[in-house]
Amino acid sequence: MRTFVFLAVVVLAGTGGDLAVTHAMKQIGEVKSFSPRALLGVMWRALKSRWIWLGIALMTVAFFALLAVLTWAEVSFVVPATAANYVVGAVGAKFLLKERVSQTRWAGLLLVAAGVALVCAAR
């Protein structure tokens, strides 16, 4: 039970962090120039965004929750289970970021999630 609670935190905080960073970058807007000056400007705006810091905070929570769960649960169970990130992340992208996740993209996502689970399960 404790393992599942922590795994849920790992997956939800991890994808939540990614979604927050994505939201921040979409607010900043499409980067069109890659000159050092332009990139510094983008980074400066990013550092001023609350969403970036929320994202980094959530990623930190996910990281420490993963470290914690690994102290008692099997790596060969925990790490493949984090492949759930792909599915949860796509659901979040669809409903929170309003991305259009087509059936083709879903098919590819599920293949990737299954593949990541397999790769991580093989020890």
How far apart, in Å, do the first and last CA atoms of the chain sit? 24
Among 7, 12, 19, 64, binds other proteins (CB under 8 A): 19
Which parts of 20-49 interact with other proteins (CB under 8 A)? Answer: 21-22, 25-26, 28-31, 34, 39, 42-43, 46
Among 41, 53, 68, 94, binds other proteins (CB under 8 A): 94
Cα-Cα-Cα-Cα dihedral sign, residues 112, 72, 17, 37: negative
Q: What is the largest CA-CA distance in the chain?
A: 50
Helix/strand/coil for 45: helix
- 62 near other proteins, rule: CB under 8 A: no
Q: Rounded CA gap, 73 and 77, in Å?
A: 7
Residues that bind other proteins (CB under 8 A): 18-19, 21-22, 25-26, 28-31, 34, 39, 42-43, 46, 52, 85-86, 89-90, 92-94, 97-102, 104-105, 107-123
